[in-house]
A and B are shown apart, each in its own frame.
Chain A
Amino acid sequence: MTDIRYLAPQTLDEAVGAFAAAQGAARILAGGTDLLVQMRNGMAKPGTIIDIKKIAELTTIARTADGGFRVGAAVSGAVLAEHESFGTVWPGVLEAVNLIGSTQVQGRASPGGNLCHGSPAADSVPAMVAAGAVLTIQGPNGRRELPVEAFPAGPGRTKLAPGEILVSFTLPARPKGSGDAYLRMIPRTEMDIAVVGLAVNLTMANGVVTAARVGLGAVAPTVLLVEAAAKALIGSKLEDAALETAAAACRAACNPINDKRGTIEYRTKVAGVLLKRVAAIAAERAGRA
């Protein structure tokens, strides 16, 4: 057995200092639902583990001055679900975060970990992309912000620079008439990884879409923001023609692989089907908001 150093700093500065000092031999521990599995099967052998759950900013959910939310990167899915208003404002983000793993895993798994793991099939990422979440990142050179869709760099890779730690997700304030939703295709009903995941975030006025964002997962090396699909929805009343144009845009955005979880042909078709289904749910929620 190799020895592992375990650190649980109370401040972000300490965490960043230790992380940078370890020069790549350290791994950040939030819920650990990816890291511990990787360590068990020999894929990860960190010399140092830096547990960020003792740092207040990473584990709190706060309202921003303009009425949005700031969600700490290490907030667990279960804690997010129990928040008094997050789920009513961002039901699509919440349902996506709550799809990470089983009920037991939800007690630990976090949206920050889900994003930093770098999987193109991560459930919470398309919903964060559709929501227009902005990331706060802190590293040896200070703080920076980054739109969530710019964060993934490829399967298992992110744009975090050495020593940088993901701090939080900032979700914007919601205009009246907004709704979001996330659906994934999995062969089973539970315990599976998305073959395709798709999120839609809409704002509607008098039945007309005034703003839209579409996040698409598991069909390319990274989660995608499908701007062409959003463009097809904006200005429409979600008529069949507009939905078909948006679905076609999603299919066109797909650049999937054939693997044990799905085929190129299947994933591409399903992306279009999900766009229509998710848009309908988001619109229904927008009508209630």
Chain B
Amino acid sequence: MNAIDNKWIGTRTIRPDGVDKVTGRAGYAADNVMPGMVWGKVLRSPHAHAVIRSINTAKAEALPGVKAVVTAADIVNFPLDKSVMLGIQDMRWMCRNVMAREKALFHGQPVAAVAATTAEIAAEACKLIEVDYEVLPHVIEIDDAIAPNAPILHDFIKYEGKPSNIAGTMVNKVGDIEAGFAQADLVIERNYDTRPVHQGYIEPHACTVSCTADGKVTIWSSSQGQFMVRAMTSLLTGISQSNIRAIPAEIGGGFGAKTIIYLEPVAVMLSKKSGRPVKMVMSRDEVFRATGPAPGMKATVKIGMKKDGTIVAAHGVYYLQAGGLPGSPLRGPVGCSFAPYNIANVLSEGFDVVSNRPKVAAYRAPGAPLGAFAVETVIDELCEKLGLDPLEVRIKNHARPGDKAVYGATFGSITFVETTDAMLKHPHYKAPLDKAPAPHIRRGRGVASGFWYNAGGESSAQVNITEDGNVTVTTGHPDVGGSRASTANVTAELLGIDHSRISVLIGDTASIGFSNLTGGSRVTFASAMVVTQSTEKVIGQLKERAARIWKIDPEAVDWENGEARPAGANAGKFPALTLKELAAKANEMGGPIGAGIQLNTVGADPGFATHIVDVEVDTQLGIVRVIRYTACQDAGRSLHPSYVEGQIQGGVVQGIGWALSEEFLYDKTGKMDNASFLDYRMPVCSDLPMIEAVALEIPNPKHPQGVRGVGEAGILPGLAAIANAVHDAVGKRFFSLPLSPPKVLAVLDS
């Protein structure tokens, strides 16, 4: 499969979902309409922190047109003292995140919900719900949350024996950092802070739910995993998984945040109570106020280096904002930040800090860009002060296959050195840069690297030959990054037939075997594996049918170019049988042809990225613009290069927004002050240069096509690479993100 004469793998075939998307016909969750459907609307907390003393829904229920009202009393209560996990999500927190229980923990947290015949009546009814709040002092920032007299969000959370907003810790350790720092010629320690950022998917959360009189529930929703929707809804409503069918809609972006649910259990209970199908669609305002941002961070990173560039010791301390309920992605910064390098002495510590903000959700390599920002800027400063080339230093220290990472794994077929080496040799790295093209303009160049675990996990596929000799392939995970196009390429290659004869579908929870979330850079890796094995089984069946027709041994049949051919001693004895011919004879020769595979896939070795960026700084206005960007990752094998490039470019853009302009702003009452795309400033097209994606193709030996996950690593280096480039341009270091114009100008003028 790794032959260079592939006909379909590695080509830019037309995407299966393309026509529907450009013509507006693609079925997103908000497009769904059903007979008798009513509209659900959520009442949200107007307070950042308050005890909910009581909720009176009588007036809302009496409003004509209202069909049901739900509160936390309708959602399964997971007691605070006992953890119930689904994957990485604790149902104690999820049940309170979908509907506040004892307390409102952030402005915008759901408190109740209404279903009514129109969205307007539902909104009107929400205003009639009387909630008796006891407003409590709130806390937003990490420093305030861990201060000695901070308002405590959860009395049952203890740290060092006392009630605390530190809800969890994580430590990775190897060697002895004090002994390591003693060997260093230069030690640099810096403090960092960053703001929460939102995933910014263009499609707000939406679902339609139908709960019928016999207790069967059907959910149409936008998510990164229909099986996650089923399992989590089951846990939060008490309805068995066999009675829930989750049908995945097309997804308008998720970037990790749609790996949890917000609306579905609420809609199920509204539908169950009202006997009507219920539709719920969030507004952008609700998306910003109540769905998962990535955490903000406060960190200290200290690294010791020898004059020759050897990193001898590293210490990272990361405080992450979990939001109102515990669970920030500590394994991102703690495990990933130092993982690219083979360092003898490392201590990496993480603290999960709750405060009165929305609960964080996964965002592209969760938490890891934050750690990379801190570590990769300290490395840059060490290189600068020791007069060393920053890419050469990375290559010198890079972890190699067989090295043990600080997070515990022993690396397999990693390609960190190759990736960085490709950037060292890239023309961009040595390209001339006019550093002062105008009196108030300064330009600079920066580099940085980043590490992500990647993942395998559970996936299922079913490959069926249609009666007319064409092919349908069904997998079980929503397509956010081109998995259908990649699947079609793999199947066409294996079967040796034209790509247009293959139809790739995403099954619902009743029609395909369990498949884990689309996330962790796992889906193309895992789905190609199960699709390959399923297709190979189908080819086995096809060869067996041909053998039966020819009355020869199945071992004596080859499958080539979409047809069975007699091989070995029988070569040439019979005319080849095409897929169409075999399909036409299927029933008389043993029945329908098709096969499925369900696997827990393994062998997804980590991903790694190195970026080079040129920036331009307007020193009078403090504006930083990215003028050239080159991003390198090893894709192992690009099944569909356009999607690999798209993943890399998408990660880069999100990193640019994180570095330069995106941040959650809060007013004094603990309410988000910029809950719109106008004032939450994600980059727009005109803010960006063309991003050059360099995808190396060093096949992963543990995968049939050689695939290595690419979805996440592309977001890792940007934050540090841009900060390093700004330093190169203006001679000042920045330790706080975003590099917004007022912040940059204040440093330049200081």
Contacts and interface: CB of A to CB of B under 8 A. Distances in A.
Interface of A: 1, 185, 187-193, 195, 260-263, 265-266, 269-270, 273
Interface residues of B, number: 26
Contacts of B746: 265-266
Interface stretch (B8-16, B232-240, B386-394, B683-691): B683-691
B678 A269 contact: no
A188 B683 contact: yes
Contacts of B687: 188-190
A266 B678 contact: no
Given A262-B742, A263-B742, A266-B742, A187 B678 contact: no
Given A185-B741, A260-B674, A270-B621, A190 B679 contact: no
Best-buried of A187, A192, A273 by chain B (most CB within 10 Å):
A187
B620 A187 contact: no
B681 A187 contact: yes
Contacts of A187: 623, 660-661, 681, 740-741
A193 B677 CA distance: 12
A269 B661 contact: no
A273 B622 CA distance: 11
21 contacts: A1-B118, A185-B621, A187-B741, A188-B661, A188-B684, A189-B625, A189-B684, A190-B686, A191-B678, A191-B684, A192-B681, A193-B678, A260-B674, A261-B679, A262-B742, A265-B742, A266-B741, A266-B746, A269-B745, A269-B749, A273-B620
Contacts of B741: 185, 187, 195, 266
Contacts of A261: 679
B58 interface: no
Best-buried of A1, A191, A193, A261 by chain B (most CB within 10 Å):
A191
A284 to B, nearest CB: 15
Nearest to B285: A41
Contacts, number: 51
Given A192-B678, A266-B741, A266-B742, A1 B120 contact: yes
Nearest to A2: B120
A283 B673 CA distance: 40
Nearest to B677: A191
A188 B746 CA distance: 18
Interface string B673-704: 11001110101101100000000000000000
B202 interface: no
Given A185-B621, A188-B687, A266 B679 contact: no
Interface in B659-679: 660-661, 665, 673-674, 677-679
Contacts of A269: 745, 749
B177 to A, nearest CB: 39
A266 to B, nearest CB: 4
B369 to A, nearest CB: 20
A123 B392 CA distance: 49
Secondary structure class of chain A's binding surface, majority of residues = loop
Given A260-B674, A270-B621, A188 B681 contact: yes
A190 B684 contact: yes
A270 B660 CA distance: 18
A189 B677 CA distance: 14
B417 to A, nearest CB: 37
Contacts of A273: 620-621
B384 to A, nearest CB: 28
B740 to A, nearest CB: 6
Interface string B607-649: 0000000000000111101000000000000000000000000
A265 B118 CA distance: 48
Contacts of A260: 665, 673-674, 679
Contacts of B745: 266, 269
A269 B741 CA distance: 12
Contacts of B678: 191-193
B682 to A, nearest CB: 9
A266 B748 CA distance: 12
A218 to B, nearest CB: 14
A34 B625 CA distance: 30
Nearest to B672: A260
Contacts of B621: 185, 270, 273
Nearest to B738: A187
A44 to B, nearest CB: 16
Contacts of B740: 187
Contacts of B660: 187
Contacts of B620: 273
Best-buried of B660, B681, B740, B746 by chain A (most CB within 10 Å):
B681
Contacts of B625: 189
Contacts of A263: 742
Contacts of A262: 742
B44 to A, nearest CB: 15
Interface string B706-750: 000000000000000000000000000000000011100110010
Nearest to B619: A273
B683 to A, nearest CB: 7
A117 B727 CA distance: 42
A269 to B, nearest CB: 7
Best-buried of A190, A260, A262, A270 by chain B (most CB within 10 Å):
A260
A83 B749 CA distance: 44
Nearest to B666: A260
A191 B688 CA distance: 14
Nearest to B740: A187
Contacts of A191: 677-678, 684
Contacts of B120: 1
Contacts of B665: 260
Nearest to B685: A190
A271 to B, nearest CB: 11
Nearest to A195: B741
Contacts of A185: 621, 623, 741
Given A185-B741, A273-B621, 4 more contacts: A188-B683, A188-B684, A262-B742, A266-B742
Contacts of B674: 260
Contacts of A190: 684, 686-687
A263 B742 CA distance: 7
Interface in B200-248: none
Contacts of B118: 1
A266 B744 CA distance: 10
A191 B661 CA distance: 13
